[in-house]
Structure 1
């Protein structure tokens, strides 16, 4: 089994353990708080299981909000080379020459989205 497969299995087992703990807590608590506290998690798991599984197995976030599961790229046709994104990047993952299209070094990018928020030309794309 590869290291990534083992990690995926551990993440899946973690969710299943949380589901078990939440169910036991709900079913055995003597007070109202203990009986209702697990409900948001159990409800989310029941109604959005497919999204939980996408995050775990496919390492994909369909809402593009989970930092480690999104990738930013620069559309060279829209990038004006204004340097706004590069100057705000906290890890210096954006390179280029002023007035020329810039690019993002994926291995350095932490997925914070600052570049996406700062770009006035909608040149930053998120996947």
Structure 2
């Protein structure tokens, strides 16, 4: 682009990209080769998961999910439907810190939901 551009602006247009490649090459390669985002920032490369052993079935994430991607019941551990999930992060934000049941994953397969509904024993 620098060699063939006819104006000064065109010659410098690629500089931001070239600079990030120079300083963050490892991160680019992980995104491309491993299809994961170490910073957990790229929506296309992350997933949210509710850990059944930590979920207390408080219904907060289920009620607040804007696309109704979370299923569960009062005494049943909640599950995120990965097909419906828009990866907005609301579930992670609203899950009470004392439970920390929602986690962000990247580069790993989301565990399959447990076939039988896991009954929650409140702590």
Q: Same fold (TM over 0.5)?
A: yes
Instruction: Tell me the TM-score normalised to structure 2 length.
Output: 0.70
For residues 59 and 110 of structure 1, the distance between their equivalents in structure 2, rounded to whole angstroms, comes to 18
Residues 83 and 26 of structure 1: CA distance in aligned 2, closer, same or farther (over 3 Å) = farther
Instruction: Could you tell me which runs of 5 or more consecutive residues in structure 1 were left unpaired when the two chains were aligned.
Output: 1-23
Q: Are positions 1:126 and 2:109 aligned together? A: no
- More helix per residue: 1 or 2? 1
For residues 105 and 112 of structure 1, the distance between their equivalents in structure 2, rounded to whole angstroms, comes to 13
Match of 2:40 among 21, 43, 64: 64
- Larger RCO of the pair (alpha carbons < 8 Å, separation 6+): 2
- More strand per residue: 1 or 2? 2
Deviations, residues 87-114 of structure 1 (Å, cap 9, x unaligned) = 1222211100114321112222222211
- The alignment of Structure 1 onto Structure 2 pairs a total of residues equal to 103
| Residue pair 1:85, 1:119 contacting (<8 A) in 2 also | yes
Instruction: Could you tell me which runs of 5 or more consecutive residues in structure 2 were left unpaired when the two chains were aligned.
Output: 106-123
Matches within 5 A, 1:1-127: 24-25=1-2, 28=5, 30-31=7-8, 33-120=9-96, 121-127=99-105
| Residue pair 1:26, 1:38 contacting (<8 A) in 2 also | no
Instruction: Tell me the TM-score normalised to structure 1 length.
Output: 0.68
